[in-house]
Chains A and B, each alone.
Chain A
Amino acid sequence: GAVVSQHPSRVICKSGTSVKIECRSLDFQATTMFWYRQFPKQSLMLMATSNEGSKATYEQGVEKDKFLINHASLTLSTLTVTSAHPEDSSFYICSARAGRRTNEQFFGPGTRLTVL
C-alpha cells in the first residue's frame, strides 16, 4: 500500500515552453501533497504544500506564478512549470500524506526535467 506515482518520469523541453507533472496516490486518499525540488548532490527542498480543493502554500522564494500547483482531487496533484528556463532543470519529487497516525509522507519516483 501507499504507492505514489509520477508522470512523466523524464521530460526534455525547449526554453519558454510549459511542462506539467502529475502526481497520483494510487491506493489511498491524500489529504496533503507536497512538491520538492532536488538539485544534483543536494538535499530535497520543499517548494509547496497543497491540500485538495484549496490553494497551494508556497515556500519562501518559490514563484507561484511560475510553478502552478493544482490539487484537483484527493488522489491527484499537478505541478506546471511555466515558461521553463534551463535553470528550472532539476529533479522534481512529489509526496502524499494520508493523514494517518504516523504522519508519514510517501514519495513518488520523481520527474527529471531538462530544459534546453
Chain B
Amino acid sequence: ELKVEQNPLFLSMQEGKNYTIYCNYSTTSDRLYWYRQDPGKSLESLFVLLSNGAVKQEGRLMASLDTKARLSTLHITAAVHDLSATYFCAVDEDWGAQKLVFGQGTRLTINP
C-alpha cells in the first residue's frame, strides 16, 4: 500500500525567510504532484513531476523529485504572506487504477 507523508504538518514562518516542505512516499512511483489549497477552496495544481531529478520552479516556489530516495521537496524562497495556504503532495500508484494518494498536507502560515 502506498503511503505518503509530509513534514512538517504545520509551519509558521516570517516573510522573507526560506523553508522546505518534505514529501516522502513508500513505494515506487515516478509521478508526483504538488497542490495548494486555500481555505474553503478546492485544489490548485502547482507542479507535476514526472521523472527522477525533475525540478520545476514557479515564482518563489521550487519543487524537486528524487525517485530513488522516494522524496520530493517544495522549497519556498523569501516567503510572502500570499503564500499562506495548505500544501499537499500526492503520488500516483504505479499499478491498477493508478489512484492518487495524498499526504496529510502542510499548513503554512506566513507572518508579516
Contact = CB atoms under 8 A, between A and B. Distances in A.
Contact-residue bracket for chain B: 20 to 34
B13 to A, nearest CB: 19
Contacts, number: 43
A46 interface: yes
B92 A43 contact: no
B92 A103 contact: yes
B48 interface: yes
Query: A-side binding surface: helix, strand, loop or mixed?
Result: strand
A46 B79 CA distance: 32
A67 to B, nearest CB: 17
Interface string B92-104: 1000011110111
Interface of B: 31, 33, 35, 40-43, 45, 48, 50, 88, 92, 97-100, 102-105, 107
Interface of A: 32, 34, 41-44, 46, 49, 57, 93, 95, 102-110, 112
